[in-house]
Structure 1
Amino acid sequence: KKDFHGALRESQEATRLAPNDSETHRTLGRILDFSGEVVSAIGELRRAIELEPRRAELHDDLGTVLVQKSDPQSAAAEFSEALRLQPDFAQAHFHLGVLRYQEKFMEEAAQHLQTAVQLNSADPGGHYYFAQVLKGKGETDAAIRELQDCVALKPAYPDAQNSLGLLLQHSGEVEQAIKAFRQAVKLQPENPDAHNNLGLAFLQTGDGSGAIAEFQTAVHLRPDDSGYQGNLGAAYLQVADFDTAISEFEGALKLSPQDATLHYDLGLALKLKDKLPEAVAELHQAAELDPGQADVHYTLGVTLWQQGDFAAAAEEFRAAIHAKPDYAEAYYTLGTVLKQEGELQDAAAALREAIRLQPDSAGTHTTLATVLRQLGDAQGAAAESRAGMEIAKQKTGDQAALFATNSGRRLRNTGDIEGAISQFHAAISSSPNYAAAHFELGVALRQQGKSEEAQEEFRKAAELDPRLTPPPSRKK
């Protein structure tokens, strides 16, 4: 602080001795800005510009201070003038891009930030904000790449690590997301959001114990956050500690009594403890608070069905379908309940709709076969029974094919190509349309030098799954 005041006095003296030197006014403006004297800083920077109006960096400096003064229009004008004077000024592109991003002008923000990154690829901030714009435009893969560049340049960038973790998590790359979240927690151990994000990632991978530790830290850091406490309850639910889960959900509801999700979670925990009347009460509360949540109605329907209240259960399944018209499982369970109620025509209609939405459900075909048989439709019942058996057989074959393909991969990795090929053929025998087996067989055949046979397997794999493309051939 002593040095700062000394610097301020020296800079003021410099401007007194050289009142027509733009650099002295610029330096004083920066020091005043640092001290929070924004208005005085603006005055000094404007004086610097009066003395040298064609210095692009002066306009950029003034723009950054005007942003702090909440004058985005004037700030944008200064950044634009800096770029008119010096079109390849990376910092001005960065500042204008960030400003446009904050104003939600995504296209213009993207243009300036992309240019800033191209002009100065070593600036982690450019990559970070360009990633935020790309994320806002829905270009997730490109945003991930920018954030990876950002943290490679500056690993100690907690916001970037956290943002990268969230995007990776939403893209299904949970293990990589956990690495990023761990870095964020390491950099900001007192940030409850960082612990919460890491806990959610652990929860997604089934690591309930890891999730509990992170949520406990988040709750300790911010004890009045019902969301953190609810997540802690969910983690206890995952490790089957139902009593503690119930306690956490009840504690969260004291903080947020109108939170439908918390009532639903508590109802689910009570249901798992076989406390069905209490579970029904909580689920009813959740449904009243948020009638559009299909899963709430579905779980309430299942619980009422378990209690033997078939009519009320059917109404809840219908409510779930109303909230989510493509809810195949709700149609199936509704059909099952109506079958038990003897409402066979309605049961058949619900089951047919379930099959339309999810045609590969063996159980639904089998249940419909039973209903049709009771209705006297022997031919229809036989057809549905055959369909159910074929689907079950196919799924069994797919499971066998998956096992054989994984076994073949392991053998190939140990150098046993013949053994691997045998396993891949076994997989194809179990499930002729199992794309991964054809693809892996192609890889193994190529390793044996059987190029034509390999290409044929790659062709079959691509027909079955266009995402599978042959790996590049090794150069001899």
Structure 2
Amino acid sequence: MIPSARVALIALLLAGCTVSPVADPSPLDAPLQPVVLPDLDGLAPSVARQLRARYDAAQGADTANASGSERAEAWGQLGMVLQAAGFVTPAESAYRHARAADPEDLRWFYYLAHIQQVTGRRGEAIANFERALEIDPEHLPSLVWLGEMLLDQGAPGDAAAAYERALALAPASAAALAGLGRAALAQQDAESAAAYLERALRLEPGATSLHYSLGMAYRDLGDPERAAQHLAQHGEGAPALPDPLLQAQTGLLDSGLAHERRGMRALAAGRFDEAAAAFREGLALAPDDATLHHRLGVALMESGDVRGAGAQFEEALRLAPDFAEAHLSLGDLHVQGNRFAEALQSYEAAVMHRPDYLDARFAVADTLNRMGRLTDALPHLERITVVDPAMADAWMARGVSLVQLARYREARDWLTRAREIHPDDTRILFLLVRVLAAAPDGGVRDGARALALLETQRNAPASMELFETLAMAFAEAGRFGEAVDFQRRAIAVAQQTGQTWAAPYLAENLARYESGQPCRTPLPPAAGATG
């Protein structure tokens, strides 16, 4: 998953590891392991009854001399309800029984593949998706999922072949187009990647997750403005993939959990009204489920129903006062309304209940900064970098605060540490260079080091930030002609990209360079900063 617009999403189907494809180690004629019904205590009574009934039916089919297809159906249906209830291991065993009883039924290979990919066994998943496609070469979901698995495995060429077959079957499939775009990007074909991803977004504007890959494609094409536009629109929405088999599985259980999962799938795809409807159905069965109230609040907030969202978050907290995610979401709602004091209370409550909840702690720091309490934000940002040094935003935010507080030596040392951990983060690099070039403290400035650090950016894409930082460094080195040239280029880029807020500061520094004076303000003054 980003501090300013969080949507707590639980993906039903995950992707990840990179391993070499291997065949399913359990061939069709391998001995089958018995299916053991898990402990059903704590489940809703209706769900427990469903599981026991399906288990008894599967056992009965094996002892009643039923046909292969009948036995497969009984075991497969058991696997589906087990998986829907979250019991992955016995569900996998049940699917293996079904697959052995009827090896020509695509469903059991397909469901088995999904369990294997969710549990990180990508090679086995690929083998079962491929077997499903031998049975039905035109099964669109298997083609798209096979492409996903191959792309995750580091085989973008093979993935592209699967996506191309999918697109031939469904030319308007945003999922197939998105896959082709990501595969092209992985093969360093940024031009094709951009074309595919643009087509996918035209078909499904709500698939906001694609903006990230599209931004990367435009960055590789040397178009930083369009890259920045798309990266700013990056969200959680995924392209829809019609999948009757998974949908049939999702609706099997008449429980709050089943409706929650259906809602989360709709939420991930950006279908907020559908998600809200699913969560309401779940609440009709489980009205005291704080998680469902929170999920409904998120869906309502995303659809613009601020009042309804707030009511759901408040109800979630009434039912579970220590529900940190609900405190965080309520804080986000307050921020939308510029109620920063109330937002801070909510965020601090989230951190109180979960001290290492980093999104909440970052939100505390961000809100303190908005309120002008920069010094109070510093320990929160430092704590984040201790718990998760990979969180570059916290390193950057603390560096900015130190500069705004005129604590330039600390800022220099902090950003130097940050560069060691995040050597490729240009935001940290540019801020460090600004401190070295423009800090009022002569003991902090080091123009030679500033220029040396910027050597790595000789071939970087054009941007206002790059040109402005270069101008500062050249001015500190006394090379005012080059400083003026780069500052003018920074102003031109700012005008082209609509960054009008920067105009006064840029013009002020240009006048300095034209008169042979270096800059002594690394960043524009922070409005409202009081320390």
TM range (shorter): 0.5 to 0.7
Structure 1 SS opposite 2:448: helix
Q: Is the 8 A contact 1:352 1:368 kept in 2?
A: no
Q: Is the 8 A contact 1:215 1:228 kept in 2?
A: yes
Residue 36 of structure 1: aligned partner: 52
Counterparts of 1:43 and 1:373, CA distance in 2: 82
Q: Is the 8 A contact 1:60 1:79 kept in 2?
A: yes
Residue 343 of structure 1: aligned partner: 446
Residue 145 of structure 1: aligned partner: 241
The amino acid of 1:162's aligned partner reads M
User: Which structure dedicates a bigger proportion of its chain to helix?
Assistant: 1
Q: 148-157 or 342-351: which moved more?
A: 148-157
Residue 337 of structure 2: aligned partner: 239
Q: Residue deviations 1:79-136, cap 9 Å, x none?
A: 234325xx3x5xxx324432342233322443566689999x9xxxx97x99888776
Residue 459 of structure 1: aligned partner: none
Of 374, 377, 388, 2:490 maps to 388
Residue 62 of structure 2: aligned partner: 46
Of structures 1 and 2, the larger Rg is shown by: 1
Residue 282 of structure 1: aligned partner: 380
Counterparts of 2:57 and 2:303, CA distance in 1: 52
Counterparts of 1:44 and 1:99, CA distance in 2: 22
Of 116, 122, 125, 1:106 maps to 125
Residue 165 of structure 1: aligned partner: 267
Of 440, 445, 462, 1:359 maps to 462
Give the number of equivalent residue pairs: 343
Seen in structure 2, the aligned counterparts of structure 1 residues 60 and 182 have a Cα distance that, compared at 3 Å, is: closer
Counterparts of 1:215 and 1:355, CA distance in 2: 49
Residue 97 of structure 1: aligned partner: 110
Counterparts of 1:360 and 1:289, CA distance in 2: 32
User: Could you state the TM-score of these two structures normalised by the residue count of structure 2?
Assistant: 0.53
Seen in structure 2, the aligned counterparts of structure 1 residues 220 and 144 have a Cα distance that, compared at 3 Å, is: farther
Listed as ranges, the matches of 1:75-94 within 5 Å are 75-76=94-95, 78-84=97-103, 87=104, 89=105, 93-94=106-107
Structure 1 SS opposite 2:271: helix
Pairwise CA distance, 1:271: 2.1
The amino acid of 1:146's aligned partner reads P
Counterparts of 1:288 and 1:388, CA distance in 2: 35
Q: Residue deviations 1:27-84, cap 9 Å, x none?
A: xxxxxx96837886565323312xx5x4421343256558869666864554234325
Pairwise CA distance, 1:302: 1.5
Counterparts of 1:281 and 1:369, CA distance in 2: 33
Seen in structure 2, the aligned counterparts of structure 1 residues 360 and 152 have a Cα distance that, compared at 3 Å, is: farther
Residue 282 of structure 2: aligned partner: 188
Q: 267-276 or 57-66: which moved more?
A: 57-66
Stretches of structure 2 that go unaligned for 5 or more consecutive residues are 1-48, 118-123, 153-162, 164-173, 177-238, 501-531
The amino acid of 1:185's aligned partner reads F
Q: Residue deviations 1:250-273, cap 9 Å, x none?
A: 211221123333322212222222
Q: Is the 8 A contact 2:112 2:125 kept in 1?
A: no
Seen in structure 2, the aligned counterparts of structure 1 residues 346 and 61 have a Cα distance that, compared at 3 Å, is: same
Stretches of structure 1 that go unaligned for 5 or more consecutive residues are 1-32, 169-175, 399-476
Of 305, 309, 313, 2:403 maps to 305
Structure 1 SS opposite 2:341: helix
Q: Taking CA–CA contacts closer than 8 Å with sequence separation of 6 or more, which of the two structures ends up with the larger relative contact order?
A: 2
Counterparts of 2:367 and 2:334, CA distance in 1: 10
Pairwise CA distance, 1:368: 2.9
Counterparts of 1:100 and 1:397, CA distance in 2: 48
Seen in structure 2, the aligned counterparts of structure 1 residues 146 and 34 have a Cα distance that, compared at 3 Å, is: closer
Of 459, 462, 475, 1:373 maps to 475
Pairwise CA distance, 1:154: 10
Pairwise CA distance, 1:244: 1.2
The amino acid of 1:384's aligned partner reads F
Counterparts of 1:38 and 1:188, CA distance in 2: 22
Counterparts of 2:316 and 2:108, CA distance in 1: 34
Seen in structure 2, the aligned counterparts of structure 1 residues 366 and 43 have a Cα distance that, compared at 3 Å, is: closer
Listed as ranges, the matches of 1:245-256 within 5 Å are 245-256=343-354
Of 50, 56, 74, 1:61 maps to 74
Counterparts of 1:320 and 1:209, CA distance in 2: 41
Pairwise CA distance, 1:144: 1.5
Counterparts of 1:371 and 1:225, CA distance in 2: 48
Q: Residue deviations 1:149-202, cap 9 Å, x none?
A: 987999998434431330x2xxxxxxx432332232332234655554565566
Seen in structure 2, the aligned counterparts of structure 1 residues 165 and 38 have a Cα distance that, compared at 3 Å, is: closer
Q: Residue deviations 1:299-356, cap 9 Å, x none?
A: 1112222222111112233344334333222222222222214322233344565675
User: Could you state the TM-score of these two structures normalised by the residue count of structure 1?
Assistant: 0.58
Structure 2 SS opposite 1:144: coil
Structure 1 SS opposite 2:240: helix
Q: Is the 8 A contact 1:66 1:75 kept in 2?
A: yes
Pairwise CA distance, 1:211: 5.0
Structure 1 SS opposite 2:60: helix
Aligned sequence identity (%): 18
Structure 1 SS opposite 2:463: coil
The amino acid of 1:346's aligned partner reads R
Seen in structure 2, the aligned counterparts of structure 1 residues 305 and 39 have a Cα distance that, compared at 3 Å, is: closer
